């Protein structure tokens, strides 16, 4: 089918993303300046009752696209499809689509030991674009009947069962299988059908489990995701989950079989599309990237690391309980009001803060009217992002390749070398309303800085309207065009932040940690507990030289050593951050809100 | 669009689904007019499966553990029945495993020796909860009722369902309900739904619980109260606690004029309350339903939505002016920049206190 997608013949493509609440249609066209996103429109997603047909929402979004653009010919006059291709007398070359409607792919993963097969199963599911409803392991505290009840209530689309290295644990895996029979879950869609179960554990048990479980589940076996205790092989499980999702789950979801007929190529799950675009961008920029999408209910983080010249696969986590409206109550619960209030440039009683955020949770469509409310939302966004990033780091630990000497203890010992190294990330991209639509771009930059604590030299950007899913599926068929749109229409560059990797001793406010020589500009300083903003416009790039003034300060070349790099401009410019992470906040005490005021003012952010 | 409105009206046509988790039996027929306490559905829930592992308990291989088994598949057992027993040594040092449940032996695994015990089934009944007409019977598990009732939806609730007589406390909208207010009507408290006031003091709430009040409807709760007295925002419903429903939100938020008028009208009437609240994936609001509608009021349907118009009444549901009622004086075409810096569609609202301001449409409820 590849010959159908000839990039050189493409000039006009529409892509829809069917989200849980909104279906967004985006039009990509080849203009005299290159590929651009020319128009966009949206309509409510219609996968839930009473409409229960995703194609209605798609058709409505295409109709809106015609209205917004003032152009006719997107929709076919002769067929029921809203998409009219040039081959049918219309104006489009292709139509593609992604989807996370109906909550996307929802999975339960099961393993014997939570830190080994449990985590690997979760990584496999997340990599396949799923939301993991629960990770159930034998070393969980809850008794079996409670776990079985959970499986029954959650109604997953697919269950991933793992456990035991090949030739290893057997009874424990059998116990997990018995738990599944106890739970006897029913599918979310497709009443009367069996829930698909992907088995990716000890191969010695495959046939026994097939006999035991096939009458209750749609059983599929793939190679073990942990064939040896210290080896992880996720791809076969990921691919099978993806195939089962398309074949079984999506086909049962209301209207998807018709959408599949309308679209060219497969309907790509939204997170898979986003992962794809991030990977494409990282390889083009030759840089490590973290991308975050913070929504009302969930926060997705994608990261791709480059080490020793090699790109690792995109790692994705979904914090399905952390968000800005529906899930904001969870953020308050997990982070605590004290953690949220430390980001406020004013005093606000903890009980009132909690009530403000709870009221937002129960009236999720309301928006911040006053400056104070906006600052409260930005404060809670920081904690949602910090917690989500912590979750992301916990799941991104490296599993070593095959070794002869197996060290079980290493699985359970935390080692600094295993930790996600933020200093190796060159680009942080933020998306989601609170970041993309912050009234002041500097607010978005500061939120990213406070949440991820970038180290060294890091470029910051926001996605203007979240078209990463659209670009991701488009990149499968025309990578160059997708990249052109990404850099011209999608990413809003904020600028570069410079902060020390390590500061071993306490720092005082105003103390000069390093001097910065900026090509073509007056030298500046990074000062303790201060932020300095230097104008540097989008498109501008400067060589910089960082000269530590203390022997314990490291910017990436070693303690006390000069570091050279480049700074790229953006809407905020160059930001010198001498706060050395929030660890110092604990020692700041009562003067924290006045410091927050100072940092906000330096960046031109209005404060109440 | 306005923020989705909470329905408060004394004469509404509603449709409600009543259902079982699995298939069962209907006790009503299409077209039946029924009361709130009518039984409409029933079924039996399969008992839980309990696994007993003699190989683990006796620390012997499965094939030996199988030999200790004294029961067979299909056999009925009771709590304390001996399922397995080792031979011991010359009749001494025997070990045995007793059944932890009443039920039936469902399987004995030849491979693992594990014994599956299925507990006795549980009966499950569903009542109507509200009066109405049966308009649909589906899939042997779902009944749809159509009712003409009074409805008050809240922001947050806790607890399941209850039906009883509502007693309205004759306090002002912004008054805190104290224990003394409840003591003055103590003969009416047991089994009642008590409504009124801006919030309940902790003492009043504890007194209500001790007096067997079954449900409380008020304007708001402080968050500390929710954490200390209700177990937190996400705590599961507790059948020993009253069902609660707040109409405005969290903090010290006075009852709205609409809610006050509704509850005043509902005093002494039969009501059903549900505290169930869900914010995502199809919002479910806690609601108070008055069994008999006020036919002197214009009847509305539940799905009616409103578009902004000059002169229409609105209420602010966010920010410092929360709860303030006003009239729409202007509908700007262009987006307006709020104090927060956010650009949004707004309405110019003349508030009851005389002031006029641009309020985000998303922060207004149509009245």
Nearest residue on chain A to B358, alpha-carbon basis: A369
Residue A37 confidence (pLDDT): 95
User: Under 8 Å CB-to-CB from B32, ≥6 apart: which residues?
Assistant: B133, B134
> For residue A106, with 0-12 CB atoms within 10 Å meaning exposed, 13-18 middle and 19 or more buried, which class applies?
buried
What interhelical angle do A371-395 and A119-127 show, nearest 10? 120
B47 touches chain A (CB under 8 A): no
DSSP A523: -
What does the alpha-carbon distance between residue A321 and residue A430 come to, in Å, rounded to a whole number? 19
Percent share of chain B, pLDDT over 90: 68
Among residues A509, A530, A533, A510, the alpha carbon closest in space to that of A521 is found at A533
**A585, pLDDT greater than 80:** no
**A408, pLDDT greater than 50:** no
B302 touches chain A (CB under 8 A): no
What does the alpha-carbon distance between residue A29 and residue B215 come to, in Å, rounded to a whole number? 60
**A405, pLDDT greater than 60:** no
| Residue A15 φ then ψ, to 5° | -130, 135
Residue B187 confidence (pLDDT): 93
Concatenating the DSSP letter of every residue in A300-338 gives: EEEEE-EETTEEPPPEEEEETT--SSTTHHHHHHHH-HH
Please report residues of A whose CB lies closer than 8 A to that of B222: 351, 355
pLDDT tens per residue across span B154-210: 999 999 899 999 999 999 999 999 999 999 999 999 999 999 999 999 999 999 999
Mean pLDDT score, A261-287: 91
**B356, pLDDT greater than 80:** yes
Nearest CA distance, A499 vs chain B (angstrom): 29
Distances (CA, A) of B276 to B191, B279, B283: 19, 10, 10
Please report residues of A whose CB lies closer than 8 A to that of B280: 297, 326
Q: Quick one: CA torsion of A244, A250, A256, A257, rounded to 10 degrees?
A: 30
Q: Best residue in B109, B118, B223 to probe A by mutation, most A CBs within 10 Å?
A: B223
**A414, pLDDT greater than 60:** no
Nearest residue on chain B to A103, alpha-carbon basis: B281
> For residue B308, with 0-12 CB atoms within 10 Å meaning exposed, 13-18 middle and 19 or more buried, which class applies?
middle
Q: Which of A80-84, B39-43, B254-258 has the lowest mean pLDDT?
A: A80-84
Q: Do A369 and B338 touch (CB under 8 A)?
A: yes
Mean pLDDT score, B339-350: 91
Please report residues of A whose CB lies closer than 8 A to that of B338: 367-370
**A401, pLDDT greater than 80:** no
Q: Do B279 and A354 touch (CB under 8 A)?
A: no
Nearest to B223 among A144, A174, A358 (CB): A358
Among residues B260, B197, B275, the alpha carbon closest in space to that of B10 is found at B260
**A412, pLDDT greater than 80:** no
A131 touches chain B (CB under 8 A): no
Q: Do B318 and A366 touch (CB under 8 A)?
A: yes
Q: What is the mean pLDDT of chain A?
A: 87
Q: Do A362 and B279 touch (CB under 8 A)?
A: yes
| Residue B9 φ then ψ, to 5° | -160, 145
B336 touches chain A (CB under 8 A): no
A336 touches chain B (CB under 8 A): no
Range A202-231 burial, b when 16+ CB lie within 10 A, else e: bbbbbeebeebbeebbbbbbbebbbbbbbb
Nearest residue on chain B to A351, alpha-carbon basis: B223
**B297, pLDDT greater than 70:** yes
Banded model confidence at residue A43, pLDDT cuts 50, 70, 90: confident
Q: Which of A175-189, A239-253, A346-360, B37-51 has the lowest mean pLDDT?
A: A239-253
Q: Do A367 and B363 touch (CB under 8 A)?
A: yes
List of E strands, A138-252 = 158-161, 195-199, 217-221
A566 touches chain B (CB under 8 A): no
Among residues A506, A539, A522, the alpha carbon closest in space to that of A576 is found at A522
Q: Do A363 and B114 touch (CB under 8 A)?
A: no
What interhelical angle do A119-127 and A235-244 show, nearest 10? 50
Nearest CA distance, B190 vs chain A (angstrom): 31
B305 touches chain A (CB under 8 A): no
Please report residues of A whose CB lies closer than 8 A to that of B362: 365-367
Q: Best residue in A341, A366, A605 to probe B by mutation, most B CBs within 10 Å?
A: A366
Contact in structure between B271 and B163 (CB atoms under 8 Å) = yes
Q: Which of residues 365 through 394 in chain A touch B, CB cutoff 8 A?
A: 365-371, 373-374
Mean pLDDT score, B223-238: 87
The count of residues in chain B is 367
Residue A592 confidence (pLDDT): 80
Chain pair A-B, CB pairs under 8 angstroms: 115
What does the alpha-carbon distance between residue B202 and residue B222 come to, in Å, rounded to a whole number? 10
Banded model confidence at residue B237, pLDDT cuts 50, 70, 90: confident
A424 touches chain B (CB under 8 A): no
**B45, pLDDT greater than 60:** yes
Residue A403 confidence (pLDDT): 30
What does the alpha-carbon distance between residue A528 and residue A522 come to, in Å, rounded to a whole number? 20
Distances (CA, A) of B217 to B165, B173, B177, B245, B255: 13, 12, 11, 5, 10
Q: How many other CB atoms sit within 10 Å of the CB of residue A418?
A: 15
Q: Do A103 and B281 touch (CB under 8 A)?
A: yes
Q: What is the mean pLDDT of chain B?
A: 91
pLDDT tens per residue across span A195-219: 999 999 999 999 999 999 998 899 9
Banded model confidence at residue A349, pLDDT cuts 50, 70, 90: very high
Nearest to A326 among B223, B279, B322 (CB): B279
Percent share of chain A, pLDDT over 70: 90
Please report residues of A whose CB lies closer than 8 A to that of B22: none
B12 touches chain A (CB under 8 A): no
Strand partners, B42: B25, B125
What does the alpha-carbon distance between residue B172 and residue A562 come to, in Å, rounded to a whole number? 70
Concatenating the DSSP letter of every residue in B284-311 gives: B--EEEESS--TTSPPEETT------TT
Please report residues of B whose CB lies closer than 8 A to that of A42: none
Instruction: Name the strands in the sheet holding B39-45, side by side, starting at the edge strand that comes first in the sequence.
Output: B25-26, B39-45, B122-127
Banded model confidence at residue A398, pLDDT cuts 50, 70, 90: low
Tokens of B153: 């939806």
Residue A411 confidence (pLDDT): 44
Residue B121 confidence (pLDDT): 86
**Computed from CA positions of residues B191, B195, B200, B204, in that sequence, does the dihedral angle turn out positive or negative?**
negative
Among residues A411, A369, A608, A474, the alpha carbon closest in space to that of B319 is found at A369
Q: Do B319 and A297 touch (CB under 8 A)?
A: no
Among residues B260, B254, B250, the alpha carbon closest in space to that of B224 is found at B250
Greatest mean pLDDT range, A85-94, A296-305, B42-51? A296-305
Residue B122 confidence (pLDDT): 85
Distances (CA, A) of A421 to A90, A108, A305, A456: 50, 29, 9, 11
Residue B270 confidence (pLDDT): 97
Among residues A589, A590, A437, A563, the alpha carbon closest in space to that of A500 is found at A563
Q: Which helix (H) or strand (E) holds B60?
A: none
Strand partners, A461: A429, A493
Banded model confidence at residue A253, pLDDT cuts 50, 70, 90: confident
B51 touches chain A (CB under 8 A): yes
More confidently predicted of A442 and B309: A442
SS3 call for A76:
coil
Among residues A25, A482, A64, A16, the alpha carbon closest in space to that of A277 is found at A482
Among residues A82, A79, A76, A75, the alpha carbon closest in space to that of A55 is found at A82
User: Under 8 Å CB-to-CB from A88, ≥6 apart: which residues?
Assistant: A76, A78, A79
Q: Which of A377-386, A456-465, A503-512, A586-595 has the lowest mean pLDDT?
A: A586-595
Q: Which of residues 203 through 222 in chain B touch A, CB cutoff 8 A?
A: 222
pLDDT tens per residue across span B82-107: 999 998 887 788 899 999 999 999 88
**Computed from CA positions of residues A374, A378, A379, A381, in that sequence, does the dihedral angle turn out positive or negative?**
positive
Q: Which of residues 165 through 204 in chain A touch B, CB cutoff 8 A?
A: 171, 174, 178, 181-182
What does the alpha-carbon distance between residue B229 and residue B221 come to, in Å, rounded to a whole number? 10
What does the alpha-carbon distance between residue A180 and residue A203 come to, in Å, rounded to a whole number? 19
Nearest to A182 among B49, B223, B363 (CB): B49
HSE value, Cβ hemisphere, 13 Å, CA-based, for A529? 20
Banded model confidence at residue B292, pLDDT cuts 50, 70, 90: very high
Nearest to B342 among A181, A354, A368 (CB): A368
B100 touches chain A (CB under 8 A): no
Q: Which of A138-147, A445-454, A529-538, B351-360 has the lowest mean pLDDT?
A: A138-147
**B236, pLDDT greater than 90:** no
Tokens of A439: 């009234």
What does the alpha-carbon distance between residue A123 and residue A241 come to, in Å, rounded to a whole number? 12
A363 touches chain B (CB under 8 A): yes
B224 touches chain A (CB under 8 A): yes
Residue B23 confidence (pLDDT): 82
Banded model confidence at residue A159, pLDDT cuts 50, 70, 90: very high
């Amino acid at each position: 089918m590849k010959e159908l997608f000839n990039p050189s013949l493409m000039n006009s493509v529409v892509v829809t993303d069917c989200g849980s609440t909104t279906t967004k249609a985006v039009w990509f066209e080849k203009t005299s300046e290159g590929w651009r996103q020319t128009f966009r429109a949206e309509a409510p997603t219609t996968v839930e009752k009473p409409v229960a047909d995703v194609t209605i929402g798609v058709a409505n979004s295409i109709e809106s696209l015609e209205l917004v653009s003032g152009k006719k010919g997107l929709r076919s006059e002769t067929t029921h499809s809203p998409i009219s291709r040039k081959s049918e007398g219309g104006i489009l070359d292709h139509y593609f689509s992604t989807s996370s409607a109906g909550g996307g792919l929802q999975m339960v993963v099961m393993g014997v030991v939570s830190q080994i097969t449990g985590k690997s199963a979760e990584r496999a599911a997340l990599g396949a674009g799923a939301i993991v409803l629960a990770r159930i392991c034998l070393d969980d505290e809850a008794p079996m009947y409670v776990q079985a009840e959970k499986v029954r209530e959650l109604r997953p689309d697919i269950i991933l069962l793992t456990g035991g290295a090949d030739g290893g644990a057997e009874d424990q895996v059998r116990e997990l299988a018995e738990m599944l029979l106890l739970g006897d879950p029913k599918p979310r869609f497709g009443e009367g059908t069996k829930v698909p179960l992907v088995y990716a554990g000890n191969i010695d048990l495959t046939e026994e489990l097939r006999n035991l479980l096939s009458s209750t589940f749609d059983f599929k076996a793939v190679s073990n995701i942990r064939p040896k205790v210290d080896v992880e092989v996720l791809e076969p499980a990921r691919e099978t989950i993806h195939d089962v999702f398309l074949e079984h789950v999506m086909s049962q979801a209301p209207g998807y079989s018709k959408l599949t007929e309308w679209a060219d190529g497969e309907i790509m799950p939204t997170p898979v599309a986003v992962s794809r675009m991030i990977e494409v961008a990282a390889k083009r920029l030759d840089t490590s990237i973290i991308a975050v999408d913070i929504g009302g209910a969930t926060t997705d983080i994608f990261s791709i690391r480059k080490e020793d010249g090699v790109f690792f696969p995109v790692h994705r986590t979904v914090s399905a309980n952390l968000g800005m409206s529906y899930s904001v109550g969870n953020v308050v619960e997990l982070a605590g009001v004290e953690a949220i209030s430390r980001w406020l440039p004013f005093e606000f009683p903890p009980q009132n803060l909690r009530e403000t955020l709870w009221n937002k949770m129960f009236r999720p469509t309301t928006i911040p009217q006053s400056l104070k409310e906006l600052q409260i939302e930005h404060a809670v966004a920081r904690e949602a992002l910090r917690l989500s990033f912590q979750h992301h780091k916990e799941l991104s630990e490296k599993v070593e390749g095959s070794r002869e000497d197996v060290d079980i203890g290493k699985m359970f010992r935390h080692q600094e070398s295993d930790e996600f190294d933020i200093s190796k990330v060159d680009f942080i991209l933020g998306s989601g309303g609170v970041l993309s639509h912050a009234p002041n771009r500097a607010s978005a930059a500061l939120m990213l800085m406070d949440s991820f604590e970038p180290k060294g030299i890091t470029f910051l950007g926001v996605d203007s309207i979240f078209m990463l899913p659209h670009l991701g599926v488009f990149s499968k068929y025309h990578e160059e065009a997708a990249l052109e749109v990404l850099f011209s229409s999608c990413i809003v560059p904020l600028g570069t932040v410079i902060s020390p990797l390590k500061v071993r001793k306490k720092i005082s406010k105003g103390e000069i940690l390093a001097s910065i020589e900026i090509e073509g500009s007056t030298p500046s300083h990074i000062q303790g507990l201060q932020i300095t903003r230097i104008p540097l416009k989008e498109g501008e790039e400067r060589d910089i030289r960082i000269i530590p003034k203390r022997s314990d300060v490291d910017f990436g070349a070693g303690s006390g050593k000069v570091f050279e790099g480049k700074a790229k401009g953006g809407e905020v410019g160059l930001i010198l951050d001498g706060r050395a992470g929030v660890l110092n906040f604990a020692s700041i005490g009562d003067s924290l809100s006045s410091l927050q005021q100072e940092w906000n003012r330096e960046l031109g952010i209005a404060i109440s | 669009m306005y923020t989705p409105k909470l329905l408060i009206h004394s004469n509404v046509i509603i449709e409600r689904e009543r259902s079982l988790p699995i298939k069962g039996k209907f006790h009503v027929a299409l077209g039946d007019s029924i009361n709130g306490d009518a039984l409409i559905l029933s079924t039996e829930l399969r008992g839980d499966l309990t696994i007993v592992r003699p190989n683990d308990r006796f620390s012997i291989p499965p094939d030996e553990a199988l030999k200790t088994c004294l029961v067979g598949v299909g056999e009925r057992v009771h709590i304390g029945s001996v399922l397995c027993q080792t031979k011991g040594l010359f009749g001494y040092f025997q070990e045995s495993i007793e059944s932890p449940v009443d039920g039936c032996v469902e399987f004995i695994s030849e491979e693992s020796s594990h014994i599956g015990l299925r507990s006795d089934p549980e009966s499950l009944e569903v009542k109507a909860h509200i009066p109405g007409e049966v308009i649909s019977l589906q899939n042997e598990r779902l009944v749809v009722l159509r009712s003409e009732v009074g409805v008050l939806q809240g922001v947050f609730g806790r607890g399941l369902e209850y039906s009883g007589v509502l007693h309205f406390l004759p306090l002002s909208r912004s008054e805190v309900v104290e224990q003394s207010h409840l003591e003055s009507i103590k003969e009416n408290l047991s089994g009642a739904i008590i409504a009124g006031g801006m919030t309940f003091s902790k003492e009043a709430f504890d007194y209500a619980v001790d007096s067997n009040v079954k449900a409380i409807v008020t304007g708001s709760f402080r968050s500390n109260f929710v954490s200390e007295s209700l177990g937190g925002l996400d705590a599961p419903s507790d059948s020993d606690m009253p069902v609660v429903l707040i109409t405005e939100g969290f903090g010290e938020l006075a009852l709205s004029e609409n809610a006050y008028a509704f509850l005043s009208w509902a005093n002494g009437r039969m009501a059903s309350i549900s505290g169930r609240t869900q914010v995502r994936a199809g919002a479910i609001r806690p609601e108070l339903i008055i069994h008999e509608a006020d036919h002197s009021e214009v009847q509305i349907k539940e799905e009616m939505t409103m578009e902004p118009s000059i002169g229409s009444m609105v209420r602010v549901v966010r920010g410092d002016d929360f709860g303030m009622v006003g009239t729409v004086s202007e509908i700007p075409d262009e987006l307006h920049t709020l104090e927060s810096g956010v650009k949004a569609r707004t309405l110019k609202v003349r508030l009851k206190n005389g002031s006029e301001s641009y309020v985000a449409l998303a922060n207004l409820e149509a009245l």
